[in-house]
């Protein structure tokens, strides 16, 4: 493994810049796992990762190749909300233009049009994704398996009381074969739009779903360098971890 | 007045213990037929009830408070590990009352799980409470970390006399602002030790970036932990600094000793006993770790440490408090309800400190999640076997002649203790 991780600058296939959205306020439920997997796999594939952070009030970095953003509890969402709205146009332009992104749980909701709380008040989203979310009294908690066309089974853990419905402008990430996903009625989980993957799944998502991680890397490399040449990675443990995780009870 | 529920409950307790059954059933029976039993019995205690709650360290802290008060001559009723909910308190009471339902104790010190503590204090308002911390634990159970803080605030609100709070945990400290009339006592840390207690908000960010603001000013603490040595600790209280030997290990256990000392001293000052500083300190120095909290067993002539890990902060503190050098290491991760079912938390712990020696054995239902986690931190991995019994046997065999350490989640620890009890002396947990 160590032989994969040490990629010297001279042999690097190029630098990929990964931006973490709001790691200071939205860092709950292992969101760091997604950033770490980006960093390591970029390096194992022979590229040089550069990990950037964007927090409330920071200047928004230029030339970002991949964006990852996480969950966060209600208090964290309140802190970032106004700042996120100010960044709406930039993020929308990046997403529409094909920048690969992964947004999980809380940021997935805020990337939609709106979040309507249980008491009926409305939290404005940034409208990158054609979805909206309604707060409920029902908390969807437990292991999830999602069958997807692009990535095979996506495994993770959901924990949310907001229920999300999709508009016609986006497709679901997949269909749940265990657990609930977006809401308790339609059997769909997550969203795919351009190169954005949005999902409720923690776990963290990327470690146990390397197909999603490699999709983000491949897309970023192809956009930046015109081509992509993957490395050969040791995915023994992830294969076993997926096998066992799929057998765990809801 | 005679309550037939008491002898009946005691009988159920006896029968269920003979059958090797769980500790809660007799509590359930007596609660059903005599719902007033717990409240009635506890209200007879001359110095009332103290509740200990928080995410990490309840068991060890409760044990310390009990032993500190006993050293001052008090008779203390307490609930044992594994029964930290209302029904468990009722079951423990049944074991200690006489057949007429009288409890021969001066005070009750009860460890209560955050959510169950709220039910408890609604029925039995405690005279004292001690709130340790709010960490990322089993979020799938309570929803989220701020909700856990709200639960602790409810416990404090129901407390009649004194609320003891952790000055260094912003979510706990801010409970003081919501209180009306209760005395607040603080325990705290020396500035030099703050960095060894990362709170969950500092997880991935630069220092100073923590989300919740603490209190506008730093209140004076009754007891401050000033320093931690290899087997000693330095506390400051009443304007003096004292250093004492400690059998407890792990810097977080020792911080909880400051918490226990604060509560015990407050209880004494309130008139329960005349606090003798010398005997208090002696008692503190002799407290042994509660089971699984850094306790050391002996296997084939070598020490084997069990370190319970329940959440990211606990795991990080465990790694920091028990350095890997010279030890063979095993990690056992289960994902049952009591362990926390969402594996995300493993990704909030850095495992760099295990890089030098590697991890010899991984086990538990989520052994391969752990292997994956270590792979991403470049930690060498020996064997992986989700089955705990064979993994433990192979670990002990392969690490012959070396001291051993096992980091384990709660149910993995119970399974490991069961296996170890076949080959060494292990305290039986009832």
Averaged confidence pLDDT in chain B: 85
Scanning every residue of chain B, which has its alpha carbon at the shortest distance from the alpha carbon of A1?
Answer: B378
What does the alpha-carbon distance between residue A105 and residue A70 come to, in Å, rounded to a whole number?
A: 7
Q: Which residues of A touch B212 (CB under 8 A)?
A: 75
pLDDT value at residue B297: 84
Same domain, B241 and B341: no
Same domain, B116 and B260: yes
Backbone angles phi and psi of B251, in degrees to 5: -60, -30
Could you report the per-residue pLDDT of B289-325, keeping only the tens digit for each? Answer: 776 666 778 888 888 988 888 888 778 878 877 888 8
Same domain, B395 and B353: yes
Best CA proximity match to A50, nearest among A18, A13, A12? A18
Lowest-pLDDT choice from A44-48, A191-195, B87-91: B87-91
Whether residue B415 is contained in a domain is answered as: yes
Where b means 16+ CB within 10 Å and e means fewer, B267-279 reads bbeeebbebeeee
Of the residues B286, B314, B342, the one at which a domain ends: B286
Mode of pairing for the β-strands spanning A196-199 and A101-104: parallel
Of the residues B233, B268, B286, the one at which a domain ends: B286
What does the alpha-carbon distance between residue B40 and residue B280 come to, in Å, rounded to a whole number?
A: 31
Question: What average pLDDT score do residues A11-26 get?
Answer: 91
Q: Is the dihedral of CA B114, B119, B122, B128 positive or negative?
A: negative
Averaged confidence pLDDT in chain A: 92
Q: Which residues of B touch A44 (CB under 8 A)?
A: none
Whether residue B427 is contained in a domain is answered as: no
Q: Indicate yes or no: CB of B372 within 8 angstroms of CB of A207.
A: yes
> A148 forms bridges with which residues in the sheet?
A152
Same domain, B408 and B313: yes
Confidence bin at A239 (pLDDT 50/70/90): very high
Same domain, B249 and B349: no
- How close is the nearest chain B Cα to the Cα of A203, in Å? 4
What does the alpha-carbon distance between residue A71 and residue A27 come to, in Å, rounded to a whole number?
A: 7
What does the alpha-carbon distance between residue A205 and residue A202 come to, in Å, rounded to a whole number?
A: 5
Q: Which residue has the higher pLDDT, B275 or B212?
A: B275
Residue B275 pLDDT > 90? no
What does the alpha-carbon distance between residue B93 and residue B105 come to, in Å, rounded to a whole number?
A: 11
Confidence bin at B332 (pLDDT 50/70/90): very high
Same domain, B204 and B330: no
Scanning every residue of chain B, which has its alpha carbon at the shortest distance from the alpha carbon of A80?
Answer: B211
Q: Indicate yes or no: CB of B140 within 8 angstroms of CB of A141.
A: yes
What does the alpha-carbon distance between residue B317 and residue B173 come to, in Å, rounded to a whole number?
A: 21
User: Smallest Cβ distance to A27: which of B203, B366, B368?
Assistant: B203
User: Smallest Cβ distance to B139: which of A29, A75, A204?
Assistant: A29
Confidence bin at B203 (pLDDT 50/70/90): very low
- How close is the nearest chain B Cα to the Cα of A172, in Å? 23
Q: Which residues of A touch B341 (CB under 8 A)?
A: 142-143, 157, 248
Domains identified in chain A and CATH numbers: 2-247 (3.40.50.880)
Same domain, B208 and B282: yes
What does the alpha-carbon distance between residue B291 and residue B231 come to, in Å, rounded to a whole number?
A: 19
Confidence bin at B340 (pLDDT 50/70/90): confident
Question: What average pLDDT score do residues B60-73 get?
Answer: 94
Q: Are B87 and B122 in contact (CB under 8 A)?
A: no
* Tokens describing residue B247: 């059998």
ipTM reported for the complex, 2 dp? 0.94
- How close is the nearest chain A Cα to the Cα of B187, in Å? 26
Q: Which residues of B touch A142 (CB under 8 A)?
A: 140, 341
What does the alpha-carbon distance between residue B248 and residue B101 come to, in Å, rounded to a whole number?
A: 36
Over the Cα atoms of chain A, what is R_g?
17
Same domain, B279 and B393: no
Mode of pairing for the β-strands spanning A15-21 and A101-104: unpaired
Best CA proximity match to B254, nearest among B275, B274, B284, B280? B284
Could you report the per-residue pLDDT of A86-101, keeping only the tens digit for each? Answer: 999 999 999 999 999 9
Scanning every residue of chain B, which has its alpha carbon at the shortest distance from the alpha carbon of A239?
Answer: B368
* Tokens describing residue A115: 């979040």
Confidence bin at B199 (pLDDT 50/70/90): low
Number of structural domains chain B divides into: 2
Of the residues B236, B260, B286, the one at which a domain ends: B286
What does the alpha-carbon distance between residue B167 and residue B186 come to, in Å, rounded to a whole number?
A: 6
Q: Indicate yes or no: CB of B366 within 8 angstroms of CB of A202.
A: no
Confidence bin at B145 (pLDDT 50/70/90): confident
pLDDT value at residue B291: 64
Whether residue B428 is contained in a domain is answered as: no
Same domain, B297 and B273: no
pLDDT value at residue B166: 96
Scanning every residue of chain B, which has its alpha carbon at the shortest distance from the alpha carbon of A52?
Answer: B205
Confidence bin at B210 (pLDDT 50/70/90): very low
Whether residue B429 is contained in a domain is answered as: no
Q: Are A117 and A123 in contact (CB under 8 A)?
A: yes
Q: Indicate yes or no: CB of A36 within 8 angstroms of CB of B384.
A: no
Whether residue B430 is contained in a domain is answered as: no
pLDDT value at residue A121: 86
> B243 forms bridges with which residues in the sheet?
B234
Question: What average pLDDT score do residues A175-189 get?
Answer: 96
Q: What percent of chain B has pLDDT over 90?
A: 49
Chain A interface, mutation test: which of B342, B351, B378, B391, most A Cβ atoms within 10 Å? B342
Could you report the per-residue pLDDT of A131-163, keeping only the tens digit for each? Answer: 999 999 998 999 999 999 999 999 999 999 999
Chain A interface, mutation test: which of B376, B380, B386, most A Cβ atoms within 10 Å? B376
Kindly state the greatest CA–CA separation across chain A: 57
Residue B213 sits in which domain range? 5-286
Could you report the per-residue pLDDT of B5-29, keeping only the tens digit for each? Answer: 777 777 777 766 655 445 566 777 7
Q: Which residues of A touch B333 (CB under 8 A)?
A: none
Same domain, B175 and B321: no
Same domain, B203 and B59: yes
Question: What average pLDDT score do residues A8-25 get?
Answer: 86
Q: What percent of chain A has pLDDT over 70?
A: 93
Q: Which residues of A touch B386 (CB under 8 A)?
A: 244
Whether residue B425 is contained in a domain is answered as: no
Backbone angles phi and psi of A222, in degrees to 5: -65, -40
User: Smallest Cβ distance to B372: which of A28, A74, A238?
Assistant: A238
Query: What SS3 class is residue A20?
Result: strand
3 state SS for chain B? CCCCHHHHHHHHHHHHHHCCCCCCHHHHHHHHHCCCHHHHHHCCCCCCEEEEECCCCHHHHHHHHHHHHHHCCCCEEECCCCCCCHHHHHHHHHHHCCCCCCCCCCEEEEECCHHHHHHHHHHCCCCEEEECCCCCCCHHHHCCHHHHHHHHHHHHHHCCCEEEEECCCHHHHHHHHHCCCCEEEEEEECHHHHCCCCCHHHCCCCCCCCCCCCCCCCCCCCEEEEEECCCEEEEEECCEEEEEECCCCCHHHHHHHHHHHHHHHHHHHHHHCCCCHHHHHHHHHHCCCCCCEEEEEEECCEEEEEEECCCHHHHHHHHHHCCCCCCEEEEECCCCHHHCCCHHHHHHCCCHHHCCCCEEEEECCCHHHHHHHHHHCCCCEEEEECCHHHHHHHHHHHCCCCCEEEEECHHHHHHHHHHHCCCCCCCCCC
Same domain, B253 and B339: no
Active site residues of A: 105, 202
Tell me the CB-side half-sphere exposure of residue A68, using CA atoms within 13 A: 28
Q: What is the CATH number of the domain that holds B175?
A: 3.40.1190.10
Whether residue B426 is contained in a domain is answered as: no
Whether residue B236 is contained in a domain is answered as: yes
Q: Does the model's pTM come out above 0.95? A: no
Confidence bin at A185 (pLDDT 50/70/90): very high
Q: Indicate yes or no: CB of A75 within 8 angstroms of CB of B212.
A: yes
What does the alpha-carbon distance between residue A192 and residue A186 come to, in Å, rounded to a whole number?
A: 16
Q: What is the CATH number of the domain that holds B299?
A: 3.90.190.20
* Tokens describing residue B271: 């008139």
* Tokens describing residue A137: 């009294």
Where b means 16+ CB within 10 Å and e means fewer, B374-400 reads bbbbbbebbbbbbebeebbbbbbeebe
Could you report the per-residue pLDDT of B236-267, keeping only the tens digit for each? Answer: 999 999 999 998 877 788 999 999 999 999 99
Distances (CA, A) of B173 to B53, B156, B194, B215: 14, 11, 15, 7
Task: Please give the DSSP secondary-structure letter assigned to residue A202.
Answer: B
What does the alpha-carbon distance between residue A52 and residue A21 come to, in Å, rounded to a whole number?
A: 9
Q: Are A142 and A158 in contact (CB under 8 A)?
A: yes
Backbone angles phi and psi of B37, in degrees to 5: -55, -50
Could you report the per-residue pLDDT of B85-141, keeping only the tens digit for each? Answer: 677 788 788 878 887 778 889 999 999 988 888 889 999 999 999 999 987 654 444
Residues present in chain B in total? 430
């Amino acid at each position: 493994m160590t032989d994969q991780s040490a990629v010297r600058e001279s042999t690097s296939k190029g630098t990929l810049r990964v931006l973490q959205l709001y790691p200071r306020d939205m860092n709950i439920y292992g969101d760091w796992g997604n950033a770490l997997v980006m960093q390591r796999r970029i390096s194992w594939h022979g590229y040089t990762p550069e990990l950037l952070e964007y927090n409330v009030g920071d200047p928004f970095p230029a030339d970002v190749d991949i964006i990852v953003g996480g969950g966060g509890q209600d208090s964290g969402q309140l802190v970032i909300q106004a700042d996120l709205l100010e960044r709406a146009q930039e993020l929308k332009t990046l997403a529409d233009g094909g920048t690969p992104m992964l947004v999980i749980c809380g940021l997935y909701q805020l990337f939609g049009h709106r979040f309507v709380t249980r008491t009926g008040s409305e939290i404005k989203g940034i409208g990158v994704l054609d979805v909206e979310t309604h707060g409920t009294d029902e908390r969807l908690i437990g292991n999830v398996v999602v069958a997807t066309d692009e990535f095979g089974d996506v495994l993770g853990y959901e924990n949310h009381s907001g229920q999300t419905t999709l508009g016609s402008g986006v497709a679901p990430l997949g269909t749940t074969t265990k657990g609930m996903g977006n809401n308790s009625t339609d059997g769909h989980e997550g969203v795919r739009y351009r190169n954005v993957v949005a999902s409720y799944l923690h776990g963290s998502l990327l470690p146990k779903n390397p197909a999603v991680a490699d999709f983000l890397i491949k897309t970023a490399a192809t956009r930046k360098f015109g081509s992509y040449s993957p490395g050969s990675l040791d995915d023994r443990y992830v294969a076993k971890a997926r096998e066992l995780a799929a057998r765990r009870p809801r | 007045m005679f309550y037939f529920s008491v002898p009946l409950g005691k009988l159920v307790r006896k029968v269920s213990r003979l059958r090797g059954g769980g500790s809660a059933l007799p509590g359930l029976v007596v609660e059903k037929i005599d719902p007033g039993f717990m409240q009635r019995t506890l209200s007879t205690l001359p110095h009332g009830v103290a509740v200990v709650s928080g995410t990490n360290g309840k068991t060890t802290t409760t044990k310390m408070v009990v032993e500190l008060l006993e050293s001052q001559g008090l008779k203390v009723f307490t609930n044992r590990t594994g029964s930290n909910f209302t029904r468990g308190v009722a079951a423990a009471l049944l074991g200690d009352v006489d057949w007429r339902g009288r409890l021969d104790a001066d005070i009750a010190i009860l460890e209560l799980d955050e959510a169950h503590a709220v039910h408890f204090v609604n029925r039995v308002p405690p005279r004292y409470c001690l709130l340790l911390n709010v960490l990322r634990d089993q979020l799938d159970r309570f929803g989220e970390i701020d909700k856990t803080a709200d639960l602790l605030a409810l416990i404090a609100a129901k407390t009649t006399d004194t609320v003891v709070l952790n000055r260094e945990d912003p979510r706990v400290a801010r409970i003081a602002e919501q209180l009306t009339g209760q005395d607040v006592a603080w325990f705290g840390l020396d500035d030099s030790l703050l960095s060894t207690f990362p709170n969950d908000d500092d997880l991935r960010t630069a220092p100073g970036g923590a989300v919740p603001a603490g209190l506008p000013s730093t209140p004076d603490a009754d007891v401050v932990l000033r320093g931690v040595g290899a087997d000693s600790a330095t506390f400051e209280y009443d304007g003096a600094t004292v250093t004492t030997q400690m059998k407890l290990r792990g810097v977080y256990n020792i911080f909880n000793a400051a918490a226990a000392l604060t509560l015990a001293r407050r209880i004494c000052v309130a008139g329960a006993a005349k606090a003798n500083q010398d005997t208090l300190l002696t008692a503190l120095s002799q407290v042994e770790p509660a089971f699984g909290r850094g306790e050391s067993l002996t296997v084939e002539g070598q020490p084997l440490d069990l370190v319970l890990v329940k959440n990211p902060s606990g795991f990080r503190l465990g790694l920091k408090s028990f350095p890997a050098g010279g030890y063979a290491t095993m990690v056992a991760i289960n994902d049952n309800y009591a362990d926390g079912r969402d594996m995300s938390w493993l990704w909030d712990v850095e495992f760099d400190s295990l890089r030098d020696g590697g991890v010899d054995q991984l086990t538990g239902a989520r052994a391969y999640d752990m292997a994956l986690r270590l792979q991403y931190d470049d930690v060498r991995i020996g064997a992986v076997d989700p089955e705990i019994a064979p993994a433990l046997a192979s670990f002990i065999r392969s690490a012959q002649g070396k001291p051993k350490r096992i980091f384990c989640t709660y149910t993995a620890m119970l399974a490991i203790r069961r296996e170890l009890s076949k080959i060494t002396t292990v305290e039986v947990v009832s």
